[in-house]
Amino acid sequence: MGIKRFEDIIAWQKAQDFSLEVYKHFKSSKEYSFKDQITRASVSISNNIAEGFDRSSNQEFIRFLYYALGSNSEVRSMLYLAVRLEFISKEKSTKLIHQSNEISRMIFGLIKSMKN
């Protein structure tokens, strides 16, 4: 039995949790453009999974999964920069990067299963 709704996709669930963590950490940041960019990119991960799921074909879904991967990589890159700019602690960044890597593995797994 296949997945019937995007809400059932574990990668989507994890991406939602990840976005929540990013928002919580950067909520009070005065670095508005940085905060806007990292939070938008974090939301884009789960949104692309959802949007792709409801597209008309597996090829379309795969395309949106790659967009989700790109957004996830963008957030991860910004987390490394956030440490260097002292916007976030190394420990918090490491935790978030671990979550990001887990989401990437899940999305790659989805892509692989869609291609087979």
What pLDDT does residue 44 have? 98
Distance CA 18, CA 28 (A): 17
To the nearest whole percent, how much of the chain has pLDDT over 70?
99
Residue-wise pLDDT for 77-94, tens only, equals 999 999 999 999 999 999
Domains of the chain, each with CATH number or no CATH: 18-115 (1.20.1440.60)
Relative orientation angle of helices 58-84 and 32-53, to the nearest 10 degrees: 160
* pLDDT value for 2: 76
* Regions of the chain short of the pLDDT cut 50: none
- The answer for residues whose C-beta is within 8 angstroms of residue 67's C-beta and 6 or more apart is 44, 48, 52
CA angle 42, 63, 60 (to 5 degrees): 120
